[in-house]
Amino acid sequence: MASVVGVASENQWFKGRVKAVTSGDCLVITALAQNRPGPPPEKTITLSSLIAPKLARRGGIDEPFAWESREFLRKLCIGKDVIFKVDYKVEAIAGREFGSVYLGNENLAKLLVQNGWAKVREPGQQNQDKVSPYIAELLQLEEMAKQEGLGRWSKVPGAAEASVRNLPPSAVGDSGNFDAMGLLAASKGKPMEAIVEQVRDGSTIRVYLLPEFQFVQVFVAGLQAPSMGRRPTQETVVEPDVTSAPNGDASAETRGPLTSAQRLAASAVSSVEVSSDPFAMEAKFFTELRVLNRDVRIVLEGVDKFNNLIGSVYYSVGETVKDLGLELVENGLAKYVEWSANMMEEEAKRKLKAAELQCKKNRVKMWANYVPPASNSKAIHDQNFTGKVVEVVSGDCLVVADDSVPFGSPMAEHRVCLSSIRSPKIGNPRREEKPAAPYAREAKEFLRQKLIGKQVNVQMEYQRKISPADGATTSGAGDSRVMDFGSVFLPSATKGDAAEAAAATTGVNIAELIIARGLGTVVRHRDFEERSNHYEALLAAEARAIAGKKGIQSAKDSPAMHITDLTVASAKKAKDFLPSLHRSRRISAVVEYVLSGHRFKLYIPKETCSIAFAFSGVRCPGRGEPYSEEAIALMRRKIMQRDVEIEIETVDRTGTFLGSMWEGKTNAATFLLEAGVAKMQTGFGADRIPEAHLLELAERSAKNQKLKIWENYVEGEEVVNGGSKVETRQKETLKVVVTEVLGGGRFYVQTVGDQKVASIQNQLASLSLKDAPIVGSFNPKKGDIVLAQFSLDNSWNRAMIVNAPRGAVQSPDDKLEVFYIDYGNQETVPYSAIRPVEASVSSAPGLAQLCRLAYLKVPSLEEDFGPEAGEYLHTVTLGSGKEFKAVVEERDTSGGKVKGQGTGTELAVTLIAVDDEISVNAAMLQEGIARMEKRKRWEHKDKKEALDALEKYQEEARKSRTGIWQYGDIQSDDEDSVPVRKPGRG
């Protein structure tokens, strides 16, 4: 028995499979196998000697029992293997072939007649040879069916009328009477029962929607099969008439007239033949073999502008439900189409896209000659590492320090962009970028709290070359560069994370957490573009975020936040913030950036401001100097983006706040000192620094181990107070003359040999001073720098106006109080002794430096022995005309700017005359006109040794009852000697 349907002679049996049932007596049968490419051959067989009721055309009326007849035959044999033979042909009706078909051992014609769904046509006198070989049996079965009232022979009253379908107008070619949008609104997402009547191409089917029998055209959502082309002759849009002509009768009924819409559509068809695309016939046959004349379920996804329905088509094979669209794409017979896929659910879209990508990679069927486009991404293989997160650059970019590289090394840091996701951009005003996008700060802060300092597993996945045409990158750099992308996993997940990300053996995917919280979106990659190995999980997380309306997936705006950035503001504005930052002893802050080893950018949440902050008394090598990069890398590992606490002492002239910082319970400066990448500045005033003794111990440890900057360290000695030998190699020593003596052990000095002094003196000498200004033409105000005539020697010197008359000057005798900024004197002079000064002269800082005797408490002029102390200091310094060596022990900047006598930065010094054996400090103790300040429990070694040396001079005065000790020990010294001036509170 032949198994291939070919050009067959009558009475030869063939095997085939029923592809379609067009009516109650007509089948389309395809071959089971073939020996040439493309769809197998097929035959349309009308059952011999049978006449089934006629099915209506679209929008017409059936003959009674026509639908039931077709359904009986369709359900009986569709998709099943049969054997058949051609009994005869009728050339008068286009050579239609009539035959006998067996399903197993059952003759289909006999089954139809036996159940009353077809009548037998008796042979006419002219066509005696064109009858079924089984005509006699068929006539007997028909008679029995009539007697039993089966099928179309039903004797039930009204049965014939009830079986007639009055079909609604067809929506194919003329959708004017069809409300596609209404159907979509009522049925979107809900499966609708349908029967496929025609397959136009692999991705377009025409179906009856049950139970109304609305005839519609449906495009399979998310894909497009190859085009079937166009025939050269004009054709109507209506599908071929599938009703059978009278069996063996050449006088078949002609088609009805075309509607106006059909004529319009037909006229639009080009007369030019367009051939079909490759694999078009194969795609169409693929669809026919699975759904033609089958029961399907259609889930509407949308409607196009031509009222065509777009939906997903599902059919059953046994107990299994299959997706027609997905099968077409998986078999390389359709391509993914974005515009209609966007109507579908995310999961369905992902499957289609992934299936197409796999076909392209394997070059299946229509993708056989596919050439991937050039990509700017390249896969990274076998580059996994573990490390600690040092910095969160943004919601999709981290800096991780590799554990396999020595701790603190700049080479340890890897910048890792999270694969296949994109978070809102942070923006950088310094690079003229736009402000932070909504939820950008939230994404960055989420990762900071989750990851900073935590151990993570990193799987590098691909590199991508980023150019300015791609838009601003994570860091905002304009030049093209290569960025590394990977997946970062947190090994230990919290309970809340487990619900948002699927935990793998490597931990929780951080990118998945970002997406699930609505703090980022998944990148839609182009074909063959490298992507995350966990791309499907990211898409699933995004779908959950969209469903939960989280973050950027919601309609809500992110909370607005205005942060005052004092790092780019003026120094004056920074100083204005100082009182508010002093109100709390310790302030919580976040380290935003490590500017250098000892200088940082901090964010203070309570004040919503960012500040520049530096350690008091600790300095690292400057940029470009040895170990500067190591210091920066170390502090990035230790405190970058950590929560810290700070105590602010003051602010310098550049607007940088100075103070101490703690990470947890550890003073952050000890990290630098212990590693040997920083030094203490003892001249800063170590007694004013909290936990100074811990810093000294850390520095001593580095010195003993000769680490980094101490690798060539050799202990040295320098003569200071009282001739004692104390270790110090970092103290600043100045050669000075004393220019003014105040009370309480305070005085002004001017540096000897300073080029600035000579320059200022030369400028003043070159000035030609004019007559006194006309009253009202020059009105100096407080803080102005002018020239003033000193009353004792009539010399002209630079001076600052300390007090001036309110309003305009009225008379040459009006008095103004001035402070001579180069000498430290202050007096009141008349307006006539004032002259304006050029900016070139006034702009240079004052040459007079305020000092006090270190480690001493000297009585003020109002206290007992205060005048004696002042007179003694004046005699041994200003009155002696000697030059002195001033060793700077501490530097007190809390006085702020110079506003007059006794204000501004104050140096605590040990003052030693060039030809004297002991210091002025020791001499005043010896004379009993000063006493030592109260000693603290913890002291810097240098200071402790200096105090020990001074104490013998105080003890000598006490024993001899000299000066303040004349009545024995003086009152209890509960307060600190020479109290440290605290910054003002506003």
Provide the phi-psi class of 512: left if phi over 0, else alpha when psi is between -120 and 50, else beta: alpha
User: What is the maximal distance between C-alpha atoms in the chain?
Assistant: 162
What pLDDT digit, counting tens, does each position of 488-515 carry?
999 865 555 655 555 445 689 999 999 9
What pLDDT digit, counting tens, does each position of 462-478 carry?
988 876 555 444 444 44
Alpha carbon 509 to its chain's center: 15
Spatial contact of 828 and 816, defined as CB atoms under 8 Å apart: yes
DSSP-assigned states of every residue in 666-695: EETHHHHHHHTS-EE-GGGTGGGSTTHHHH
**Cα–Cα distance for residue pair 557/424, rounded to 1 Å:** 13
**Cα–Cα distance for residue pair 968/962, rounded to 1 Å:** 9
For the CA atoms of 660, 665, 668, 674, what is the dihedral angle to 10 degrees? 130
Spatial contact of 366 and 333, defined as CB atoms under 8 Å apart: yes
DSSP-assigned states of every residue in 82-149: EEEEEEEEEGGGTTEEEEEEEETTEEHHHHHHHTTSSEEPPPPSS-TTSS-TTHHHHHHHHHHHHHHT
Spatial contact of 950 and 915, defined as CB atoms under 8 Å apart: no
Closest by alpha carbon to 178, among 221, 212, 202, 211? 212
Spatial contact of 108 and 24, defined as CB atoms under 8 Å apart: no
Interior/surface letters 15-48, b for 16+ CB within 10 angstroms, e for the rest? bbbbbbbbbbbbbbbbbeeeeeeebbebbebbbb
**Cα–Cα distance for residue pair 983/159, rounded to 1 Å:** 105
Is the previous residue joined to 605 through a cis bond, with omega within 30 degrees of 0?
A: no
**Cα–Cα distance for residue pair 501/668, rounded to 1 Å:** 35
The pLDDT assigned to 730 comes to: 61
Distances from the Cα of 112 to the Cαs of 100, 152, 160, 612, in angstroms? 12, 11, 17, 94
Three-state secondary structure call for residue 21: strand
Closest by alpha carbon to 753, among 879, 843, 885, 898? 885
Spatial contact of 523 and 421, defined as CB atoms under 8 Å apart: yes
**282: amino acid identity, one letter:** E
Distances from the Cα of 713 to the Cαs of 300, 673, 699, 728, 729, in angstroms? 82, 14, 12, 12, 10
Q: How many CB atoms lie within 10 A of CB 229?
A: 13
The pLDDT assigned to 436 comes to: 73
Interior/surface letters 807-817, b for 16+ CB within 10 angstroms, e for the rest? eebeeeeeebb
* Backbone angles phi and psi of 178, in degrees to 5: -120, 125
Q: How many CB atoms lie within 10 A of CB 346?
A: 16
**Cα–Cα distance for residue pair 880/862, rounded to 1 Å:** 25
**Rounded to 5 degrees, what angle do the CA atoms 604, 897, 883 make?**
130
The pLDDT assigned to 778 comes to: 83
**Cα–Cα distance for residue pair 170/89, rounded to 1 Å:** 33
Closest by alpha carbon to 408, among 638, 661, 181? 638
**Cα–Cα distance for residue pair 931/962, rounded to 1 Å:** 12
For the CA atoms of 667, 672, 673, 674, what is the dihedral angle to 10 degrees? 90
Q: Which DSSP state fits 875? A: H
Cβ neighbors of 876 (< 8 A, separation 6 or more) are 913, 920, 923
Helices 346-362, 535-548: crossing angle, 10 deg rounding: 160
Strands across the sheet containing 785-789? 826-830, 815-820, 796-803, 785-789, 834-835
Closest by alpha carbon to 442, among 403, 394, 401? 394
Element (H, E) at 310: strand 309-317
The pLDDT assigned to 126 comes to: 56
Closest by alpha carbon to 751, among 741, 740, 736? 736
The pLDDT assigned to 480 comes to: 62
Closest by alpha carbon to 177, among 221, 216, 235, 219? 216
Element (H, E) at 381: none
How many residues appear in the chain?
A: 986
The pLDDT assigned to 649 comes to: 86
Q: For residue 463, what are its two tokens?
A: 């590199």
- 3-class SS string, 150-190: CHHHCCCCCHHHHCCCECCCCCCCCCCCCCHHHHHHHHCCC
Q: For residue 63, what are its two tokens?
A: 């003959």
Spatial contact of 489 and 510, defined as CB atoms under 8 Å apart: yes
Q: For residue 311, what are its two tokens?
A: 């939906």
Residues of the chain with pLDDT under 70: 1-10, 124-127, 231-272, 408, 410, 428-435, 467-480, 492-506, 682-688, 715-730, 770, 970-986
The pLDDT assigned to 486 comes to: 93
Provide the phi-psi class of 776: left if phi over 0, else alpha when psi is between -120 and 50, else beta: left
Q: For residue 114, what are its two tokens?
A: 């036996």
Cβ neighbors of 799 (< 8 A, separation 6 or more) are 785, 786, 787, 788, 818, 819, 820, 821
**Cα–Cα distance for residue pair 633/412, rounded to 1 Å:** 9
